[in-house]
């Protein structure tokens, strides 16, 4: 069973508002959505945020885990809630920090944004409150503006680049989240050079657009070809200075696997086998096991205004979710690379969301990428599959 670990909450994704000022063609909160409450929700109120903080603190103390609260502000577009809203939330957060200062509990704030609403006031707020930002940007203008537009259909690229420059000038920590589509998968060199050479970005996360193999989503071959090329470009430079999250985890896990080193509990969820430790909370307090699963209404775990984290983790809904996560194919369990891959992203192997039976939608791509990295790092010294079979 995959869930044979001591349960910890790694981070909580808080959705202060589900609304957005953009209309991205591949938005996963809209496509294939079985959770119909998004459009009716307003901003998260102060009492709900306080319940999250208090429950989070109670959980980490009772579970004897590291006294750190990692909060990721997400959306929709989280900045739609407004600057005054966040100032109020930080007042609450600071009060809880003060109340728990003897326990030495530390709160870290991250925010995922499309960066179109950022101005000097926001930048000062981010600096004052030590926020780190993830910025959604798919690549050069001709790639980014194809699917990421304002509600009035105008492209968003120019204003985002202007605001990235401002953030960099003020030394606000930023990373890039880039969605790989079938279209953009054809341009790995343009995308890599744009992020690394032109924008001087040091932290990049590539995620595939995914909705059951539709016309926007890359195929498994598209994804493997793209990420292998990205890896080769990255490997050809001093790649230790840049973190490409998915590839960095594969490299680290591959090295540990090769030298039979126990793998630490630090990897992103899809390479950890520990799905369900990055809880997502909607503005009304509804709790889901992952930010990527908030559009699957049947996976709701509870509500923070009615349940606490301890009861939720020990409850029937979470037990059902764990069983679903552990229901992967026998083929996966027997795979030589299972200890590296861990079966992939649960969201991409839910029944009805993938063309593979209980296997990650991009299973073949993951095998190809892992094979390529092993061959590159160890010069073929480890036997690998010459041809990846489905």
- pLDDT band at 32, cuts 50/70/90? low
Contact 148, 114 (CB under 8 A): yes
Contact 341, 388 (CB under 8 A): no
Of the candidates 167, 234, 158, 223, the one whose C-alpha atom is nearest the C-alpha of residue 195 is 234
Phi, psi of 107 (to 5 degrees): -115, 130
Asked whether residue 5 carries a pLDDT value surpassing 60, the answer given is no
- pLDDT score for 384: 45
Give the Cα separation of 217 and 223 in Å (integer).
9
Domains belonging to the chain, first-starting first, are 1-113+276-319 (3.20.20.70), 123-261+327-380 (3.20.20.70)
The reported pTM is 0.92
As a whole-number percent, the residues of the chain with pLDDT over 70 amount to 91
| Highest averaged pLDDT of the listed ranges 218-227, 284-293, 307-316 | 218-227
Give the Cα separation of 92 and 102 in Å (integer).
18
Asked whether residue 211 carries a pLDDT value surpassing 80, the answer given is no
- pLDDT score for 34: 60
Asked whether residue 116 carries a pLDDT value surpassing 80, the answer given is yes
- pLDDT band at 215, cuts 50/70/90? confident
- pLDDT score for 103: 82
As a whole-number percent, the residues of the chain with pLDDT over 90 amount to 58
What's the Cα-to-Cα distance from 349 to each of 196, 325, 329, 358, 374, rounded to whole Å? 32, 9, 10, 6, 25
**Angle ∠(165,109,8) on CA atoms, nearest 5:** 135
Give the least confident one: 56-60, 125-129, 196-200. 56-60
- pLDDT band at 385, cuts 50/70/90? very low
Asked whether residue 388 carries a pLDDT value surpassing 70, the answer given is no
Asked whether residue 191 carries a pLDDT value surpassing 80, the answer given is yes
Of the candidates 56, 49, 38, the one whose C-alpha atom is nearest the C-alpha of residue 279 is 56
Of the candidates 92, 12, 106, 115, the one whose C-alpha atom is nearest the C-alpha of residue 45 is 92
Contact 16, 250 (CB under 8 A): no
Buried b (16+ CB within 10 A) or exposed e, 4-26: eeebebbbbbbbbbbbbbbebeb
Give the Cα separation of 357 and 328 in Å (integer).
8
Q: Tokens 């605001």 belong to which residue?
A: 163
Per the structure block, which two tokens stand in for 21? Answer: 């000022």
Give the Cα separation of 144 and 114 in Å (integer).
11
- pLDDT band at 35, cuts 50/70/90? low
The strand pairing partners of 207, in sequence order, are: 179
- Rounded to the nearest integer, the mean pLDDT of the chain is 88
Give the Cα separation of 256 and 263 in Å (integer).
6
- Using one digit for the tens of pLDDT, what is the confidence trace for 66-82? 788 999 999 889 999 99
- pLDDT score for 387: 37
Per the structure block, which two tokens stand in for 251? Answer: 């490299």
- pLDDT score for 87: 98
Give the Cα separation of 386 and 377 in Å (integer).
16
- Using one digit for the tens of pLDDT, what is the confidence trace for 335-352? 988 988 988 888 888 876
What would you measure as the largest C-alpha separation in the chain, in angstroms?
A: 59
What is the crossing angle of helices 157-169 and 120-128, to 10°? 40
């Amino acid at each position: 069973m995959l869930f044979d670990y001591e349960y910890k909450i790694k981070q909580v994704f808080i959705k202060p508002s589900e609304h957005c000022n953009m209309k991205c063609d591949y938005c996963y909160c809209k496509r294939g959505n079985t959770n119909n409450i998004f459009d009716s929700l307003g901003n998260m109120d102060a009492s709900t945020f306080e319940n999250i903080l208090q429950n989070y603190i109670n959980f980490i103390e009772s579970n004897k885990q590291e006294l750190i609260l990692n909060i990721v502000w997400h959306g929709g577009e989280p900045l739609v809630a407004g600057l005054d809203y966040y100032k109020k939330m930080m007042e609450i957060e600071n009060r809880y920090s003060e109340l728990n200062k003897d326990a030495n509990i530390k709160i870290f704030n991250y925010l995922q944004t499309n960066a179109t609403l950022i101005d000097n006031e926001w930048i000062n707020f981010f600096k004052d409150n030590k926020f780190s930002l993830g910025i959604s940007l798919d690549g050069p203008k001709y790639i980014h503006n194809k699917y990421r537009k304002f509600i009035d259909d105008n492209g968003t690229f120019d204003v985002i680049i202007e605001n990235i420059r401002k953030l960099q000038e003020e030394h606000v920590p930023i990373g890039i989240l880039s969605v790989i589509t079938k279209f953009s998968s054809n341009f790995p060199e343009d995308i890599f050079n744009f992020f690394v050479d032109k924008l001087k970005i040091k932290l990049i996360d590539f995620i595939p657009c995914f909705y059951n193999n539709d016309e926007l989503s890359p195929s498994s071959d598209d994804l493997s070809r793209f990420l292998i090329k990205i890896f080769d470009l990255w490997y050809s430079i001093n790649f230790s200075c840049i973190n490409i999250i998915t590839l960095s985890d594969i490299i680290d896990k591959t090295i540990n696997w090769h030298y039979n080193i126990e793998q630490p509990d630090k990897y992103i969820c899809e390479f950890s086998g520990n799905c369900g430790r990055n809880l997502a909370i909607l503005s009304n307090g509804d709790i889901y096991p992952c930010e990527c699963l908030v559009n699957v209404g049947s996976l709701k775990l509870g509500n923070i205004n009615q349940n606490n984290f301890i009861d939720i983790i020990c409850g029937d809904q979470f037990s059902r979710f764990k069983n679903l996560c552990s229901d992967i194919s026998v083929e996966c369990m027997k795979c030589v690379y299972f200890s590296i891959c861990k079966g992939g992203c649960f969201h991409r192997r839910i029944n009805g969301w993938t063309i593979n039976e209980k296997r990650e939608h991009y299973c073949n791509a993951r095998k190809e990428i892992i094979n390529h990295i092993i061959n590159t790092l160890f010069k073929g010294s480890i036997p690998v599959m010459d041809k990846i079979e489905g």
